[in-house]
Structure 1
Amino acid sequence: MVDLKTWLSQQQEKGGLRSLRPVSSRAKGRLTLAGDGNRELIDFSSNDYLALAEHPALIAAAQQALLRFGTGSGASRLMSGDLAVHHELEEAMATLKGKEAALTFGSGYMANTGIIPALMNRHDCVFSDRLNHASIHDGCRLSGARVIRFRHNDLNHLEELLMEKRGTGTALIVVESIYSMDGDRCPLRELVAIKERFGCLLMVDEAHATGVFGAKGGGIIEEDGVSSGVDLAMGTFGKALGSYGAYVAGNREMIDYLLNRARSFVFSTALPPAVAAASLAAVQLIQQEPELRHDLQAKMAYFKGMLRAGGYLADLGPSQIIPIQVGESKAALAKAELLRKERIFATAVRPPTVPEGTARLRFSITRHHSTADLAQAAKALLEVMEL
């Protein structure tokens, strides 16, 4: 066993030790940290991109479900925890993703560590982008399949690996449509062509795209018109949809199979009814009110424009996730602390979440942010980065 005291001391020394900072209040894109007086910070760390977590429609739906069903589902879906609202939510997600069926999970982590091992085994190959989320990497390892990582968004490298290592078993390519720490976008149209040429399954994690992209909020697979070429469209309710949990959408046969074989679904208590009802309300809302994402996209453009006007020359990416590269972990922590003094809360993201030497400040733009908030944050950030 690792020496716990030594390990903790080493992490502290190199700026890699994590700790929890309780939030005593949060509302309308602002938060107050416990023990920090009543000093209100503008929150740039939240994934509540469309500001739906406080939307009256979601709150009302959750309240009605609480009154009708209580706080918990009481059992797994395959026991007695299967509620009508779960089916309504799955039907809505299948429609949104252009698929025949969908299945919900307790979280994105549970989805990825359930789906991949259910589909793949030691006779198969998984081709995974190097910058995929930890839950995808863990799902790959749990599957027992041969795992081959390709350079981030490098489809030429992927093709080379497929030609060399594809084998005769089932091959699965796994990517994110919007990468959670870099905010960049996967070239899905080209990827679909590759997966068809090599006879692979394609799984796309749309956690940070659903609700934000696509004419109806269906994510990058909708915007790029590749829904039919994606075998498994996975994502979460805990980001732009303002709730909690996750889903996967695919053809009916695939979903029926996962319902029987995905252990993180079979052996887990069902999502609480209030959570499922809030998620359903969010799915309906993003389709009815496209102005939600139009507003967010305008705020994204404004913030990036302010940074560029101030002399920040690095690529700011195509999404609401804006990584500001710093380099070393201690430096990123120091800059995050300087921003907090200016009432800006932005998380310093460090290894192993990101590769060594690429610690960064991760800014998430949400509909909560006013132009004044964005201007204040841009000014503070430019000063911290000494531009």
Structure 2
Amino acid sequence: MNGLEKELEVLDRVSLERRLRVSASVPESPGYTVRGERVLLNLSSNDYLGLAQHPAIVEAMRNSLLIEGAGAGASRHVTGNRPSYVQLEQALAEWQNRDAALVFANGYMANAGVIGALVSRGDVVFSDQFNHASIVDGIVMSRAEHARYRHNDMEHLRALLNKHRHRRRKLIVTDAVFSMDGDQANLIEIAALKKEYGAMLMVDEAHSGGIYGLRGEGLSLELGLENDVDIHMGTFSKSFGVYGAYVCGSSTLTRWLVNKARPLMYSTALPPSLIAGISKALDLVQSEHWRREQLLTASAFFRSSLCQAGFNVGEGNCPIVPLIAGDNDTALRFSHALETEGIAAAAIRPPTVPDGTARIRFSLSAAHTFKELTDAVTRIRSIGLQLGVLDSCDQS
């Protein structure tokens, strides 16, 4: 097909072709996954709080499925807006201490829909260079100018804001926690620049919602910035263990999105059973504080253990722990060796990360025990020595 086979061969030669792997859950062991006939410690899941198989969530979804059926049957603008949607959005707004909330099908649609609804030709979006692909694609589809600032470089952001200070609409968008590095955005400084230059601020809490804040509200609320963030976005597919996304803000914002966010307008509503599962997960995220505490303690232990072993894992205090391997082939071999040793951990390569920074992206869960993580570190260190990622001379 027009040279696609040859282009795929090129990707394969430089260890950049992706292939889908089949994995299955282990109901009695939420921190594990199955590939083929092997049970592996799952260090690649975004199920941060270990809720994906929670019996209360499964039961809520089952009951809704039996009563309301398999699908919503239409978009929310037609007949798909069930009472459970309204109840969930009210609960989300209260949780985030905002006027209103709106549920989207997933995080990609939420980011693309919000950005496309708020800006267009003649406007400008300021975006951290490490933001998620859904943000980048949302900017491209909006036709607004994309002013990309260097990662967490506030002076560069200030310079770009000053350059575009006379634009009609200025929107700053950032991840709260960056998905491939596990570090945090400088939200306090970004909020100050937003005020200074009269911009709007959108924060994507996909990898921080459920983890930070007294009730898992996210990093923005933990830092006391809820009134400085105009558009607060998060997902239900990570800490919540379910699927979908939300946007919180003013009632004016949500009214505007109902009328202008095309992914919301032209998509069938999420099934009622999913809404029931999300609602139960929201209760658990807020009430089961021990999950956050256990996750952050385990994450700090795992990161410090790898760092002490000599790996380059960067800084951070979240469950995303990137082990930088360098070239693409080494990252792939590292991932394959981990699987042989009973660990599922994905190799992340360009264009997801910059050239020369291919990595193993470890992602922890509250379901993991300290013994499991201690054993994993031993195996990871051994593989690092075998592949030359660690220097044996440094281990004495």
**Would you call these one fold, judging by a TM-score over 0.5?**
yes
CA contact (8 A) 1:335 1:384 kept: yes
- Counterpart CA distance in 1 for 2:122 and 2:26 is 48
Counterpart CA distance in 2 for 1:189 and 1:96 is 21
SS at match of 2:264: helix
d(CA) in 2 for partners of 1:322 and 1:350?
15
CA distance in 2, matches of 1:156, 1:97: 30
4+ residue runs of structure 1 moved beyond 3 angstroms?
A: 24-27, 311-314
Asked if 1:264 is matched to 2:266, the reply is no
Query: Matches of 1:255 and 1:195 in 2, distance apart?
Result: 21
Larger mean Cα displacement after TM superposition, 64-73 or 308-317: 308-317
Given that 2:174 and 2:202 are in contact with CA atoms closer than 8 Å, whether structure 1 keeps it comes out as: yes
8 Å contact kept, 2:124–2:167: no
Which residue of 2 is the match for residue 29 of structure 1?
31
State the partner residue of 2:394: none
1:196 deviates by 0.4
Would the aligned equivalents of 2:126 and 2:148 in 1 still touch at CA under 8 Å? Answer: yes
Q: Give, as a single letter, the amino acid of the residue that structure 2 aligns with 1:8.
A: L
**AA aligned opposite 1:279:** I
**TM-score, structure 1 length as denominator?**
0.97
Change (3 A) 1:205 1:296: same
- Residue type at the aligned position of 2:364: I
- Find the residue that maps to 2:72 and give its secondary structure: coil
Tell me if structure 2 keeps the 8 A contact 1:25–1:33. no
Aligned partner of 1:227 in structure 2 is: 226
Note the C-alpha offset of 1:5: 0.7
User: Per-residue displacement from partner, 1:219-255 (whole Å, max 9, x unpaired)?
Assistant: 0011101001000000110000010011111100010
How far the C-alpha of 1:358 sits from its partner, in A, is 1.1
How far off its partner does 1:363 sit? 0.3
| Cα deviation, residue 314, structure 1 | 4.5
The answer to whether 1:204 aligns with 2:206 is: no
Point out where structure 2 has 5 or more consecutive residues left out of the alignment.
391-396
With over 3 angstroms needed to count, the CA separation of the structure-2 counterparts of 1:314 and 1:361, relative to structure 1, is closer
Deviations 1:120-175 (A, max 9, x none): 01010100110100000000000011111000111111001111123331000000
- Corresponding residue SS for 2:221: helix
Q: In 2, distance between residues paired with 1:346 and 1:292? A: 22
CA drift at 1:306 = 2.1
2:181/2:314 contact within 8 Å kept: no
Q: Percent identity?
A: 42
Counterpart CA distance in 2 for 1:232 and 1:260 is 16
Give, in angstroms, the shift of residue 268 of structure 1: 0.4
Maintained 8 Å contact 1:235/1:248: yes
Letter in 2 for 1:74: G
Written as runs of structure 1 = structure 2, the 5 A alignment for 1:155-234 is 155-234=154-233
Return the offset for 1:318: 1.9
Find the counterpart in structure 2 of residue 48 from structure 1.
Answer: 47
Q: 1:314 to 1:69 in 2, by over 3 A?
A: closer
State which drifts further: 113-122 or 24-33: 24-33
Q: Which amino acid aligns with 2:378?
A: K
SS across alignment from 1:212: coil
Tell me the SS of whatever aligns to 1:322: strand
Does the 8 A contact of 1:45 with 1:346 survive in 2?
yes
Q: Does the 8 A contact of 2:105 with 2:245 survive in 1?
A: yes
User: Which amino acid in structure 2 is aligned with residue 311 of structure 1?
Assistant: G
Aligned: 1:318 with 2:320: no
| 8 Å contact from structure 1 (residues 125, 166) kept in 2 | no
Q: Give the partner amino acid of 1:218.
A: E
Alignment of 1:294-305 (within 5 A): 294-305=293-304
- Give the whole-Å Cα distance in 1 for the aligned partners of 2:286 and 2:379: 35
Query: Which residue pairs with 1:5 in the alignment?
Result: 5
Give CA deviations for 1:328-353 in whole Å, capped at 9, x if unaligned: 11110001011111101100011111
Runs of 5+ consecutive residues of structure 1 not aligned to the other structure: none
Is the Cα contact below 8 Å between 1:76 and 1:82 reproduced in 2? yes
Q: Which amino acid aligns with 1:276?
A: I
Using the TM superposition, name which of 352-361 and 42-51 deviates more.
352-361
Q: Amino acid of the residue matched to residue 110 of structure 2? A: A
Q: Is the 8 A contact 1:316 1:323 kept in 2?
A: no
Distance 1:365 1:139 in 2: 29
Shift of 1:12: 0.4
Q: Helix, strand or coil: the match of 2:101? A: strand
Paired residue secondary structure (1:362): strand
Secondary structure of 2:227's match?
helix
> Does the 8 Å CA contact 1:98/1:228 hold for their aligned counterparts?
no
Contact 1:112 1:136 in 2 (8 A): yes
Secondary structure (helix, strand or coil) at the match of 2:234 reads strand
Could you say which residue in structure 2 is the equivalent of 1:85?
Answer: 84
**Which deviates the most, 375-384 or 154-163?**
375-384
- Distance across 2 between alignment mates of 1:231 and 1:107: 20
Aligned-partner SS, 2:361: strand
Q: Which amino acid aligns with 1:5?
A: E
Contact 1:206 1:233 in 2 (8 A): yes
Residue type at the aligned position of 1:121: S
CA distance in 1, matches of 2:25, 2:102: 33
Partner of 2:153: 154
**Residues 49 and 288 of structure 1, relative CA distance in 2, 3 Å threshold:** same
Deviates more, 1:306-315 or 1:127-136: 306-315
1:364 is aligned with what amino acid? S
1:339 pairs with 2:338: yes
CA contact (8 A) 2:51 2:281 kept: yes
Once the 2 structures are TM-superposed, how far is the Cα of residue 177 of structure 1 from its aligned partner?
0.2
Q: For residue 125 of structure 1, what is the aligned residue in structure 2?
A: 124
Q: Flag the 1:271–1:94 CA change in 2: closer, same or farther, 3 A.
A: same
Q: CA deviation at 1:315?
A: 2.3
Give the whole-Å Cα distance in 2 for the aligned partners of 1:191 and 1:377: 37
Q: Number of aligned pairs?
A: 384
The offset of 1:25, in angstroms, is: 4.0
